[in-house]
Amino acid sequence: MMEEKSSEETALNVMKGIESKHDGMTYVAPKKFRKKQKQQIDIRQLASEVREGKRTSLSKAITLIESSNAEHKVLAQNLLQELLPYTGNSVRIGITGVPGAGKSTFIEAFGTMLCNMGKKVAVLAIDPSSTISGGSVLGDKTRMENLSRHENAFVRPSPSAGTLGGVHKKTRETMLLCEAAGYEVILIETVGVGQSETYVRGMVDFFLLLVLTGAGDELQGMKKGIMELADGIVVHKADGDNVEKAKNTVREYQKILHFLQPSTPGWQSKALAVSSYEKTGLEDVWEMICSFEKQMKDSGYWYTRRQEQTSDWFHSMIYDHLIDSFFGKKENKDLVKQLEEKILQGKLTVTQGIQELFKDYDS
């Protein structure tokens, strides 16, 4: 099913925008893609290549989805519509972690294990920080090297620009493309910035949180509310001298999880010790996810949640659109700023500010 890999084809698929910053990348599809654009993109052809699992075609499809060119946007949506009937057949897993928890090491080890089991694994990333830092979660080409070389893997960093809402949308659509290409496990990595975890929780079936040993100390640096999103907690780096400490930490987390409402109704979130270095505990994580899948499919909540996620996505896109198109007009933005100043100076009530702002707008 998987084609031979040439020097032009690797599973590490980096965006055009990032490419220039990281030379040494072997991915050259954007160039080919630019050539192809001139020859017109055959959407039916591309859709059928994606369905066949051709990795270069999947990369092209994703680049099309990520393009901000108006013509491409229409083509991208036609492509996605063509592929919609073939989406949904994967386990969607969100992965986040406290700083230093070793997310990419874990994804590399966990993903490789799944690939060796014969699963097709796609790794995507949401990286809202990249607009600020100019970097990307997966921008460092030394990361996930083994996984990205595996014939069953597809590794794709996030776009390096755009609003979080946009990244959010594109990651969802990229996920659908990967599903149409036959990927059975989608790992979505997120960094703990802004609302990214909430966005990812809203697009996956299972949400995994990576932590380090010594819960008491490190929880201080943990983002508020993040533990309550998790269906599973991995106490990572449970190796060498750390094994005993990790076991204690697992117990501590189990206790805290017991205090919290489950992220998924009907599922008691669990904590597990894992060493990506010694390759221990990785099977337990997969077993946990499989038992989650079975239980949720039996209860039907698996499907209910996915429908709710799609509805929520549509509605949040409506809200974003309304707000963006309002603030996109300079006169509105300026007026909001003026009114806000008056309000903060105590010269105007908030309600008066709203009345003033919308007095012409609603007519």
Residues of this chain that interact with a copy of itself (CB under 8 A) are 73, 77, 80-81, 84-85, 87, 169, 172-173, 215-216, 219-220, 222-225, 228, 256, 258-261, 307, 310-311, 313-314, 317-319, 321-323, 325-326, 336, 339-340, 343-344, 346-355, 357-358, 362
Q: For a copy of itself, which is the closer residue by CB, 27 or 206? A: 206
Beta carbon of residue 118, minimum distance to a copy of itself (angstroms, whole number): 28
Cα-Cα end-to-end distance for the chain:
59
Q: For a copy of itself, which is the closer residue by CB, 23 or 314? A: 314
Helix, strand, coil percentages, rounded to 5, for the chain:
55, 10, 35
Q: For a copy of itself, which is the closer residue by CB, 113 or 180? A: 180
**Which residue type does 212 have?**
L
Contacts 24+ apart (CB under 8 A), 102-107: 102/210, 102/236, 102/237, 102/276, 103/189, 103/210, 104/137, 104/138, 104/143, 104/144, 104/189, 105/236, 105/276, 105/277, 106/210, 106/234, 106/236, 106/274, 106/276, 107/144, 107/147, 107/187, 107/189
Beta carbon of residue 172, minimum distance to a copy of itself (angstroms, whole number): 8
- The torsion angles phi and psi of 225, rounded to 5 degrees, stand at 80, -5
Q: For a copy of itself, which is the closer residue by CB, 331 or 362? A: 362
| Nearest C-alpha neighbor of 173 from the set 84, 91, 52, 304 | 84
Angle subtended at Cα 8 by Cα 58 and Cα 6, rounded to the nearest 5 degrees: 100
Beta carbon of residue 349, minimum distance to a copy of itself (angstroms, whole number): 5
Beta carbon of residue 32, minimum distance to a copy of itself (angstroms, whole number): 25
Beta carbon of residue 107, minimum distance to a copy of itself (angstroms, whole number): 26
Strand 91-97 and strand 121-126: the pairing is: unpaired
Q: For a copy of itself, which is the closer residue by CB, 110 or 253? A: 253
289 touches 91 (CB < 8 A): yes
100 touches 106 (CB < 8 A): no
Give 280's DSSP letter: B
Q: For a copy of itself, which is the closer residue by CB, 149 or 223? A: 223
**Which residue type does 119 have?**
K
Beta carbon of residue 56, minimum distance to a copy of itself (angstroms, whole number): 23
Distances (CA, A) of 252 to 102, 248, 249, 257, 282: 20, 6, 5, 9, 20
135 touches 144 (CB < 8 A): no
Beta carbon of residue 355, minimum distance to a copy of itself (angstroms, whole number): 7
Q: For a copy of itself, which is the closer residue by CB, 297 or 321? A: 321
**Which residue type does 144 have?**
M
Q: For a copy of itself, which is the closer residue by CB, 80 or 200? A: 80
Q: For a copy of itself, which is the closer residue by CB, 283 or 341? A: 341
User: Could you tell me the two tokens for 363?
Assistant: 């007519």
15 touches 63 (CB < 8 A): yes
For residues 326 and 329, give the distance between their C-alpha atoms in angstroms, rounded to a whole number: 6
